Amino acid sequence: MTKRLLPIISLFLIAIPSLAAAQGVTSSADPRATEAGRDILHQGGTAADAAVAMVAVLTLVEPQSSGVGGGGLLVYHDAKSDSIGTIDGRETAPAAAKPGRFLGPDGKPRGYADVIPGGLSVGVPGNMRLMEMAHQKWGKLEWKALFQPAIKLADEGYEVTPALHNWLESYQDLWKDFPAARAIYYVDGKPAPVGTRLKNPAYAALLRDIAARGPDAFYTGANARAISDAVAKSVRNPAMLTAKDLAAYRAKDRPAVCATYRVYKVCGMGPPSSGATTVLGILGMLEGWDMKTMGKDSPMSWHLIAEAMQLAYADRAKYLGDADFVEVPVKGLLDKAYLAQRRQLISPYGAAGHYEAGTPPGAPPRTPSGPVAEGGTTHFVAVDRAGNVASMTSTVESIFGSHLNANGYFLNNELTDFDHSPVQDGAPAANRVEAGKRPLSSMSPTIVYGPDGKVILAVGSAGGKRIIMHVTKVLIGVLDWGLSAEDAIALPNLFFGQQGVVIENDAAGQAIAAKMQPFGYSFTPIDLGSKLNAAQRVGDVWHGAADPRGPGTSSVDGAPPQG
């Protein structure tokens, strides 16, 4: 009898890894969005279904960062076809937008703080069409089911977090001109205190309409009029964004941008995102050094990262834009021979101090873009029991976007992501404002495949132009230094600016900065926050990871749906 049972026991043991793998994982910057995604997975939904639900909830609970009034970029691994795809839900400039949109009467660019509030900065929101396309391509549950977590929270109320309260206090003076926002988030004439339970009946009503009638309920009819009126009647910077602009918007199914890094394949978004090309450019230059042997505590590791970073960002500034409007040499920027040439500009003994764009194969003549500031962004990931993986970054651009509110959600200020100077060095800027164009983005949703061809990591972040470096840091931490996603996220953040190379002002960052003198320059420790979220497969088990710098969480759903 014992011999007869052995095959059965063996089969059971073989099945254990597959059972472990059959779990869902979500991770986001807010525990309520994380739980909404997990709930959708528990109902048998796909990673795409969970992503849709998480967008809807984040609109409500993290309004300063993202929402249906903004746009997003989604990278998705489809387990059934073993393929990767991306959806571009980036906002577009309305038909009335002209290259000189942000120039003052003197012909000079107006300041960012001057043009962000109000209608002038608002682009046509793209997230709802992205959500529609993701559900059509990869969804499983009914469309209406995906909005129930957000509707419940909007009806029953949700608590104000410390982060939301702090941002509300920061904009008290500005919001004197934005009564619709005050009506939702103020109590007794002041920003709602931490722990206040807020309700949002207007947003709940809109979601019910969208759940019943589909995305057209957002882009046409009453909601379209609400958006157009908010933009046109703004006290600050009134502008035109018409019902026709909204009805014409389409999300775009674009090919993923992928390249090998050592034994891995790293995939992300192509233009109008600069994320994948810049992340992969940095990695391609670093590929010539043994980062694993040097390790995370070596000042040489961080010196090489800093040099590759500045060279890749120089290429980003010169060549990246909306590929539907300008020629972007994506293939040339990722060319291994080109990156080897760029690598030769990096000395292991000291900083170059000057970083110019190169000339990748197929690159057109181009002038560098100007700086772009952004801050209202979030990232989230979902993995379902079938092995589908969603990595999505969503944004309203700056904190609370344009500060305009329609039906309970904030409208983006995405048009300020365009260059404010339409002509630079006598030539048209690649990222200048044009009707129907999508502004350049730093959003970097990323999926990584291991040597066996299976997904091992999904990651992304908030942080404006720093997003690229937050993601790159995690990739190096996991792929080169063998860290868990949690530990890689906790590594100090790195960037650069007028003060040179800057590193996060924590114990690890300070320790690295103290070791940089032999290279003839220093890293300046400053505050460099991030909102990273990731999912990592270790063996056959998925783990979620959230940035310890904020309230983000991850959650596992291992129980199969009943019935």
Quick one: 224 and 285 in the same domain?
A: no
pLDDT at residue 6 in the model: 34
Tokens found for residue 40: 């959708």
| Domain contains 8 | no
Quick one: 218 and 287 in the same domain?
A: no
Quick one: 188 and 334 in the same domain?
A: no
Tokens found for residue 62: 């993290």
At which residue do the structure tokens 């009034």 appear?
A: 69
Quick one: 202 and 110 in the same domain?
A: yes
| Domain contains 391 | yes
Q: 191 and 185 in contact (C-beta within 8 Å)?
A: yes
Omega before 272 within 30 of 0, i.e. cis? yes
Q: Which of 359, 394, 427 is the last residue of a domain?
A: 427
pLDDT at residue 3 in the model: 36
Quick one: 238 and 328 in the same domain?
A: no
| Domain contains 14 | no
| Domain contains 491 | yes
Number of domains in the chain: 2
Query: Considering Cα of 248, then 253, then 255, then 261, what sign does the dihedral take?
Result: positive
pLDDT at residue 375 in the model: 58
Domain region containing 171: 27-72+86-251+373-427
At which residue do the structure tokens 């991770």 appear?
A: 27
Q: Provide the pairing of β-strand 553-557 with 389-397.
A: unpaired
Whole-prediction pTM value?
A: 0.94
| Domain contains 270 | yes
Quick one: 462 and 329 in the same domain?
A: yes
| Domain contains 19 | no
Q: CA–CA separation, 31 vs 29, rounded Å?
A: 7
Give the mean pLDDT per block of 10 residues along the chain (563 residues).
36 35 87 98 97 98 97 98 98 97 95 96 98 98 98 98 97 97 97 98 98 98 98 98 98 97 98 96 98 97 98 94 93 97 96 92 74 70 97 97 98 95 85 96 97 98 95 98 98 93 97 93 93 96 96 81 37
Residue 267 three-state SS: strand
Quick one: 340 and 200 in the same domain?
A: no
Can you spell out the DSSP letters for 302-334? HHHHHHHHHHHHHHHHHH-S-TTTS---HHHHT
Quick one: 182 and 296 in the same domain?
A: no
pLDDT at residue 367 in the model: 63
The catalytic site residues sit at: 377
Quick one: 102 and 226 in the same domain?
A: yes
Quick one: 334 and 457 in the same domain?
A: yes
pLDDT at residue 498 in the model: 84
Quick one: 293 and 386 in the same domain?
A: no
| Domain contains 468 | yes
CA-angle at 452, arms to 447 and 456, nearest 5°: 30
Residue 540 three-state SS: coil
CATH number at residue 495: 1.10.246.130
pLDDT in tens, 192-205: 999 999 999 999 99
pLDDT at residue 19 in the model: 34
pLDDT in tens, 460-471: 999 999 999 999
| Domain contains 144 | yes
Quick one: 281 and 356 in the same domain?
A: yes
With 0-12 CB in 10 A as exposed, 13-18 as middle and 19+ as buried, what is 487? middle
pLDDT at residue 364 in the model: 84
